[in-house]
């Protein structure tokens, strides 16, 4: 054990600390060390390679084909950003280093990544300051609502409710409830946006704030958002921007300019970082002036001598929200992504995301019913009601696509639309790839007329076909060999 440790440290370049700076000599107590060798399966290298290769080939990823999941922004993650995140100068850093006496000078590069990312995201969203700590979008929401609660507490406001449109992502009401608020749901109008008259009807002095996704999960940008912000501010409420759909507006419209006080962005959606398996994500939170003093600690500040340091001295802070500084490897990828694209590239990203979604909408609307027949933003929302009349449901179409080696779009979400099929091609897909997807969707529609029964035992190409989805979610069994047996 000792030998391996010494070897791995000395084998890497540039990270030998001078003796004087090694403040803590770590020694693992005997009671924590393994007393006997672990029993590991004895298999040949080839068997191991084949096992993992087989598993990896069963895994669908955006590296394999289009991944048009609406509300998820499953776009291509540039390999360049992976390379940056793998640089030993970053990934060999110990997270405690900046807290050791004199340790900060060894991590100036890493602190600069965090510091610059905060500033760039502030610029992109029109916010005053950011924290990079939250570990997912939902975690960012909770952080944002805690900031909101801290603001009301500091002002002595008595607040009970958070207003959320009925089209919202499920994490919105969950985060608000975890933070101790009661939720008021407001219905959407016929065009897909929040119904402002219904909002007025529920607005009282007890409303802490409103959570809104712009554009929302209907793929619609609510043009009344500034008016909504005025209403919420009139009761000293806070406007929360769920930035999961920022991929549609980045470089074109800033939440801070249209009345929002706090935002989260999903680096794994908008900023091209990997996304899946429940993590690692990253949901940095930005705030305007009103909420800045409540931001989590630690914060990164630039001292007069130009040195970046961690500052814990914020008495009004909501405290720690994550261990250390957030998912640093993910933040690094987003940082590299922002440098790679530059401001023009980020703007082009959202332009193309919107263009691609409208292309898919325009080509498929002859076959599937559009939920809202209007120009959409980064995703288009259909309903499979016409196909359902022939006995083929949204889930059947999804299963059909799996057999065509295409990842299905999001189905049955948002809940406001029956038999919803929500397609988000993202900006990284070519017209050729989208055409293959569109043709498969057209074919599914044709088959729903000619042979609706065919759908019921699809997919045929997968090791499992139609699990009991509720049970599968509760009693997850991901042992491939057990399933095959
Ligand atoms: C994805 C998403 C979230 C949650 O983000 P996670 O990173 O998955 O926790 C919240 N709101 C919307 C609209 C989303 O699409």
pLDDT of residue 14: 42
pLDDT of residue 323: 84
- Which of the 8 DSSP states describes residue 194? B
Query: Per residue in 245-272, pLDDT tens?
Result: 999 999 999 999 999 999 999 999 999 9
CATH topology agreement for domains 79-340 and 343-484: no
pTM over cut 0.85: yes
| Gap between the Cα atoms of 36 and 39, Å rounded | 9
Q: Is the CB of 69 under 6 A from ligand 1?
A: no
Domain range list for the chain: 2-28, 79-340, 343-484
pLDDT of residue 19: 55
**Ligand 1, pocket-test mutation among 68, 70, 137, 145, most atoms within 8 A of CB:** 137
Q: Is the CB of 138 under 6 A from ligand 1?
A: yes
CATH of region 79-340, choose from 3.40.50.2300, 3.30.70.20, 3.40.640.10, 3.40.50.150 = 3.40.640.10
Q: Is the CB of 213 under 6 A from ligand 1?
A: yes
**Nearest Cα to Cα of residue 171 among 477, 162, 277, 301:** 162
Query: Per residue in 356-390, pLDDT tens?
Result: 999 999 999 999 999 999 999 999 999 999 999 99
**Ligand 1, pocket-test mutation among 214, 220, 248, 269, most atoms within 8 A of CB:** 269
What is the greatest pairwise CA distance in the chain? Answer: 79
C-beta separation of 325 from 90 below 8 A: no
**Ligand 1, pocket-test mutation among 266, 278, 379, most atoms within 8 A of CB:** 266
**Which DSSP helix (H) or strand (E) runs through 444?**
helix 431-450
Question: Which residues, 6 or more positions from 285, have their beta carbon under 8 angstroms from its beta carbon?
Answer: 130, 131, 133, 134, 140, 143, 144, 147, 262, 263, 264, 295
Atom 8 of ligand 1: nearest residue by CA position: 137
Tens-digit pLDDT string for the chain (485 aa) = 333 333 333 344 444 555 555 444 567 888 888 888 888 888 999 999 999 998 888 888 888 899 999 988 999 999 999 999 999 999 999 999 988 888 999 999 999 999 999 999 999 999 999 999 999 999 999 999 999 999 999 999 999 999 999 889 999 999 999 999 999 999 988 877 888 999 999 999 999 999 999 998 888 888 899 999 999 999 999 999 999 999 999 999 999 999 999 999 999 999 999 886 556 789 999 999 999 999 999 999 999 999 999 999 999 999 999 988 999 999 999 999 999 999 999 999 999 999 999 999 999 999 999 999 999 999 999 999 999 999 999 999 999 999 999 999 999 998 889 999 999 999 999 999 999 999 999 999 999 999 999 999 999 998 888 888 888 888 877 665 555 54
| CATH code, 343-484 | 3.90.1150.10
């Amino acid at each position: 054990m000792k030998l391996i440790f010494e070897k791995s440290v000395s084998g890497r370049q540039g990270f030998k600390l001078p003796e004087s700076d090694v403040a803590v000599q770590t020694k693992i107590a005997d009671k924590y060390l393994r007393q006997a060798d672990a029993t590991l399966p004895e298999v040949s290298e080839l068997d191991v390679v084949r096992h993992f290769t087989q598993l990896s080939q069963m895994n669908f990823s955006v590296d394999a084909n289009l991944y048009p999941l609406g509300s998820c922004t499953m776009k291509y993650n540039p390999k360049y950003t992976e390379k940056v995140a793998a640089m030993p100068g970053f990934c060999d850093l110990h997270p405690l280093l900046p807290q050791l006496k004199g340790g900060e000078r060894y991590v100036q590069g890493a602190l600069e990544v965090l510091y610059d990312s905060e500033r760039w995201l502030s610029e992109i969203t029109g916010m005053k300051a950011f924290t990079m700590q939250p570990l997912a979008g939902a975690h960012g929401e909770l952080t944002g609502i805690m900031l909101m609660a801290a603001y009301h507490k500091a002002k002595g406001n008595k607040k009970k409710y958070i207003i959320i449109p009925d089209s919202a992502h499920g994490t919105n009401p969950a985060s608000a409830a975890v933070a101790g608020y009661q939720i008021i749901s407001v219905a959407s109008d016929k065009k897909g946006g929040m119904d402002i008259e219904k909002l007025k009807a529920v607005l009282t002095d007890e409303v802490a704030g409103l959570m809104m996704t712009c554009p929302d999960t209907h793929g619609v940008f609510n043009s009344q958002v500034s008016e909504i912000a005025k209403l919420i501010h009139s009761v000293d409420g806070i406007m929360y921007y769920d930035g999961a759909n920022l991929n549609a507006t980045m470089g074109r419209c800033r939440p801070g300019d249209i009345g929002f006080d706090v935002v989260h962005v999903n680096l794994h959606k908008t900023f091209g970082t990997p996304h899946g398996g429940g993590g690692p994500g990253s949901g940095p939170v930005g705030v305007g002036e009103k909420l800045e003093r409540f931001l989590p600690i630690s914060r990164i500040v630039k001292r007069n001598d130009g040195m970046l340091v961690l500052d814990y001295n914020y008495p009004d802070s909501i405290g720690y929200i994550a261990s250390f500084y957030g998912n640093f490897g993910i933040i690094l990828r987003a940082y590299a992504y922002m440098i790679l694209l530059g401001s023009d590239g980020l703007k082009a990203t959202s332009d193309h995301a919107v263009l691609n979604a409208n292309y898919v909408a325009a080509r498929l609307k002859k076959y599937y019913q559009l939920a809202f027949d209007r120009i959409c933003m980064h995703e288009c929302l259909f309903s499979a009601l016409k196909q359902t009349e022939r006995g083929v449901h949204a889930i059947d179409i999804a299963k059909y696509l799996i057999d065509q080696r295409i990842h299905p779009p999001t189905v049955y979400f948002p809940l406001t639309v029956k038999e919803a099929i929500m397609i988000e091609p993202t900006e990284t897909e070519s017209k050729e790839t989208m055409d293959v997807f569109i043709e498969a969707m057209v074919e599914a529609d044709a088959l729903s007329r000619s042979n609706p029964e065919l759908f019921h035992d699809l997919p045929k190409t997968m090791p499992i076909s139609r699990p009991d989805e509720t049970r599968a979610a509760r009693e997850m069994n991901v042992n491939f060999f057990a399933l095959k047996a």
